């Protein structure tokens, strides 16, 4: 019997309430990054959901110790001498430093906003942390714990890798650089010298949005970064032609003779969300985890380089190219992320994030030898099932993409898309943040989807996946997970909840009912009318004067505002690159609140307040 969308929505809310945190909450591990001790005895594993660093005895394949670290740990590194282990805690904005001999936490070190990765220089005197929200790399004196400086990177700085000699650090970022509206996205690899502690090069990555791990060969002559090549400037009507995302690598270095983008997809199969990258010590093989496809892609580096040298034309979108250098695909567990080689290069370890275990692979035969159970809960809750659905590509035509492609780590991608149900080139949509969505219906910028089951169900099946997708239970689980998405800590708020003087002035502007000359502002044009309630939306449509000639209607859904500071670009179509542009460029007639009587300082105060929401 088919269930109505309303019933699915009710069930999702009920299941979410049932799965709400309690004293006996099911707490999964979600292992991600890993690193070996220099002698190969210990495998250190961070667990994002349980806030732990697990120490795995490689010989016995058992967890020897669990160490509590900060909230939502995302990055992991070990000093060159193996004496210290560093864990980047993304929601605490700090690094846990663990003594590898005693396996005890010895101190914490402050970073920038939302650190996702950490590395140290060869002497462990300086730590480098990639900060996703502050878009930079913190340079930290390891002894004193004091931040020395910050180095600007691309937007969403997330992953770091050091060269074998420790002289150079490579940083990637997951969101595209801010750019002109509806132009090709661009990213970069930011290259840092540990000797001068300065950025020495920025390698541009055209048509790339979403760069994850980067790896360097032992001799420093070859590097590879996992990345996404979105095709968001054309209507999303060509799924069957592979025209949504290109799962690929950027390879670089002296062996390559430049910077080249190479696809890892095939003509009729896709290997989505490339994430972890590792290169064998002899530089014969390159392994890439493909999180949406539950697999590891194995690449023959010699064949790859030969193909690149023989084809100097661009083949980044040529889906037949991978047959020339991909050796095989190794099936592993759900949502593989971290990947490391044992110090002797014989074994490959892959963290299956949605299974709470680690696959052990023979690096020569490419066979899974065993699985290390990390001891997570065996019960699978609706929330966990929904999370597994969110990250898998099995529902999409030929496995091309999942929810996680556009909503990276359950956020957004910083891109704008042309969804063809509205017509080609019509109703361009900005990808909104997923934080705290419950109670913010309707969805889509024009309010076309009345509830999340409609948004995630038939709309996704018909216009995104191009294949029959979720049954009723799966849709309910997915909605339950999406509605559970928590709000990240807001770094613009004071710890005591008070507002700064500038934020107080901005709040008064946000709540004002009169122009500066005393004339009343119509209630319908007051900021606090549309952006009302706990989540700052009245859940209604309004014409705020931002409609374009490509829009079918000037009416837009009032977006909710929690953590709005982190979700640029803005407006329904992403045409405003910053909060400032909403009112300085796109509000000439005062239809989106009254702003033309504000001074520059007053507008700055308003924005400072909005950043606290």
Tokens for 413, please give them.
């991608």
Q: What is the mean pLDDT of residues 406-429?
A: 87
Q: Return the closest-CA partner of residue 216 out of 173, 169, 264.
A: 169
Q: What is the mean pLDDT of residues 403-430?
A: 88
pLDDT at res. 1: 34
pLDDT at res. 467: 77
Instruction: Please give the distance of CA 566 from its chain centroid, rounded to a whole number.
Output: 13
Q: What is the mean pLDDT of residues 254-267?
A: 96
Q: What is the mean pLDDT of residues 305-318?
A: 91
More confident residue, 191 or 13: 191
pLDDT over 60 (residue 5): no
Pair 172, 211: CB distance under 8 Å: yes
pLDDT over 80 (residue 21): no
pLDDT classification of 22: cutoffs 50, 70, 90:
very low
List, for residues 54-81, the tens digit of each pLDDT value: 999 999 999 999 999 999 999 999 999 9
pLDDT over 50 (residue 116): yes
**C-alpha radius of gyration, the chain, whole number:** 24
Could you give the CA distance from residue 35 to residue 42 in angstroms, rounded to a whole number? 9
pLDDT classification of 286: cutoffs 50, 70, 90:
very high
Question: Helix 5-18 and helix 472-483: axis angle, to 10°?
Answer: 50
Mean pLDDT computed over every residue of the chain: 92
Q: What is the DSSP letter of 461?
A: I
Tokens for 532, please give them.
């009302």
Sheet architecture: strand order including 245-253: 211-216, 223-230, 245-253, 258-263
Q: What is the mean pLDDT of residues 312-339?
A: 94
For the whole model, what pTM was predicted?
0.94
DSSP string, 441-456: -SBSTT--BSSHHHHH
pLDDT classification of 20: cutoffs 50, 70, 90:
very low
pLDDT at res. 17: 46
pLDDT at res. 604: 97
Could you give the CA distance from residue 275 to residue 210 in angstroms, rounded to a whole number? 10
pLDDT at res. 162: 97
Pair 602, 509: CB distance under 8 Å: yes
Tokens for 333, please give them.
């567990």
Pair 198, 190: CB distance under 8 Å: no
Could you give the CA distance from residue 127 to residue 106 in angstroms, rounded to a whole number? 16
pLDDT at res. 11: 52
pLDDT at res. 18: 46
pLDDT over 70 (residue 53): yes
Could you give the CA distance from residue 364 to residue 298 in angstroms, rounded to a whole number? 11
Strands (E), 207-257: 211-216, 223-230, 245-253
Pair 164, 170: CB distance under 8 Å: no
Pair 582, 576: CB distance under 8 Å: yes
Domain with CATH 1.10.760.10 in the chain: 501-610
pLDDT at res. 15: 47
List, for residues 235-246, the tens digit of each pLDDT value: 887 787 777 899
3-state secondary structure string across 318-380: CCCHHHHCEEEEEECCCCEEEEEECCCCCEEEEEECCCCEEEEEECCCCEEEEEEECCCCCCC
Could you give the CA distance from residue 211 to residue 232 in angstroms, rounded to a whole number? 16
Q: Return the closest-CA partner of residue 291 out of 374, 352, 357.
A: 352
Pair 31, 338: CB distance under 8 Å: yes
Q: What is the mean pLDDT of residues 300-319?
A: 93
Pair 479, 10: CB distance under 8 Å: no
241 by DSSP, 3-state: which? helix
Contacts of 518 (CB under 8 A, 6+ apart): none
List, for residues 465-492, the tens digit of each pLDDT value: 887 788 999 999 999 999 998 899 999 9
- The β-bridge relationship of strands 73-78 and 62-68 is unpaired
Q: How many residues does the chain have?
A: 613
Tokens for 455, please give them.
């948004």
Buried-state track 293-318, b at ≥16 Cβ within 10 A, e below 16: bbbbbbbbbeebbebbeeeeeebbbb
Question: Is the domain covering 501-610 a CATH 1.10.630.10 domain?
Answer: no
Q: Which element (helix H / strand E) includes 391?
A: helix 382-391
138 by DSSP, 3-state: which? strand
Pair 440, 482: CB distance under 8 Å: no
Please give the C-alpha separations between residue 103 and each of 65, 73, 96, 198, in angstroms, as whole numbers. 8, 17, 12, 33
pLDDT over 60 (residue 2): no
Tokens for 517, please give them.
């000359």
Instruction: Dihedral sign for Cα 367, 369, 372, 378, please.
Output: positive
Q: What is the mean pLDDT of residues 404-428?
A: 87
> What is the CB neighbour count within 10 angstroms for residue 48?
20
Q: Which element (helix H / strand E) includes 476?
A: helix 472-483
Q: Which element (helix H / strand E) includes 382?
A: helix 382-391
pLDDT over 70 (residue 10): no
pLDDT at res. 464: 83
Pair 207, 248: CB distance under 8 Å: no
């Amino acid at each position: 019997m088919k269930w109505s969308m309303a019933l699915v929505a009710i069930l999702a809310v009920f299941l979410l309430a049932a799965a709400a945190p309690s004293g006996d909450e099911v707490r999964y591990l979600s292992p991600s990054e890993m690193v070996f001790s220099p002698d190969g005895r210990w495998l250190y594993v961070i667990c994002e959901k349980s806030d732990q660093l697990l120490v795995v005895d490689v010989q016995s394949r058992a967890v020897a110790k669990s160490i509590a670290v900060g909230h939502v740990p995302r990055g992991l590194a070990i000093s060159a001498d193996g004496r210290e282990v560093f864990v980047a805690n993304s929601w605490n904005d700090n690094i846990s430093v663990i003594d590898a001999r005693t396996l005890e936490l010895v101190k914490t070190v402050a970073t920038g906003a939302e650190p996702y990765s950490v590395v140290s220089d060869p002497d462990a005197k300086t730590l480098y942390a990639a900060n996703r929200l502050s878009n930079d790399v913190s340079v930290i004196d390891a002894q004193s714990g004091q931040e020395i400086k910050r180095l600007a990177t691309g937007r969403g700085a997330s992953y770091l890798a050091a060269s074998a000699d420790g002289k150079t650090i490579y940083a990637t970022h997951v969101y595209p650089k801010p750019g002109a509206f509806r132009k090709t996205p661009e990213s970069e690899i930011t290259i840092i010298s540990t000797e001068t502690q300065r950025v020495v090069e920025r390698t541009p990555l055209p048509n790339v949005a979403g760069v994850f791990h980067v790896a360097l060969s032992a001799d420093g002559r070859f590097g590879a970064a996992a990345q996404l090549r979105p095709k968001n400037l054309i209507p999303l009507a060509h799924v069957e032609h592979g025209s949504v995302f290109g799962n690929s690598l950027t390879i670089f270095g002296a062996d390559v003779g430049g910077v080249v983008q190479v696809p890892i997809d095939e003509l009729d199969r896709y290997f989505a969300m490339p994430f972890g990258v590792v290169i064998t010590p002899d530089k014969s093989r390159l392994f890439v985890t493909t999180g949406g496809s539950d697999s590891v892609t194995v690449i023959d580096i010699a064949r790859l380089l030969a193909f690149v040298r023989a084809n100097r034309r661009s083949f980044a979108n040529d889906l037949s190219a991978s047959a020339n250098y991909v050796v095989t695909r190794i099936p592993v567990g759900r949502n593989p992320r971290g990947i490391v080689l044992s110090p002797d290069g014989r074994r490959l370890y892959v963290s299956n994030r949605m299974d709470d275990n680690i696959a052990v692979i023979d690096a020569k035969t490419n066979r899974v030898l065993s699985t290390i159970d990390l001891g997570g809960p065996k019960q699978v809750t609706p929330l966990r099932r929904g999370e597994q659905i969110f990250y898998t590509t099995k529902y999409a035509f030929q496995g091309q993409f999942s929810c996680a492609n556009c909503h990276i780590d359950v956020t957004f991608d910083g891109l704008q898309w042309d969804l063809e149900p509205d017509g080609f080139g019509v109703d361009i949509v900005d990808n909104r943040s997923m934080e705290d969505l419950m109670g913010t219906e309707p969805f889509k910028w024009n309010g076309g989807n009345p509830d999340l089951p409609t948004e995630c169900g038939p709309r996704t099946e018909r216009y995104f996946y191009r294949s029959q997708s979720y049954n009723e239970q799966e849709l309910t689980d997915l909605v339950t997970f999406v509605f559970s998405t928590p709000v990240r800590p807001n770094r613009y708020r004071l710890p005591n909840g008070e507002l700064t003087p500038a934020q107080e002035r901005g709040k008064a502007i946000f709540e004002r009912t009169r122009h500066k000359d005393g004339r009343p502002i119509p209630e319908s044009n007051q900021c606090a009318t549309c952006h009302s309630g706990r989540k700052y939306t009245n859940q209604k449509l309004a014409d705020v004067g931002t409609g374009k000639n490509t829009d079918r209607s000037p009416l837009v859904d009032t977006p909710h505002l929690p953590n709005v500071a982190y979700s640029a670009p803005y407006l329904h179509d992403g045409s405003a690159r910053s909060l400032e542009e909403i009112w300085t460029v796109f509000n000439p007639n005062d239809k989106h609140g009254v702003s033309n009587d504000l001074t520059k300082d007053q507008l700055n105060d308003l924005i400072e307040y909005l950043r606290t929401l």
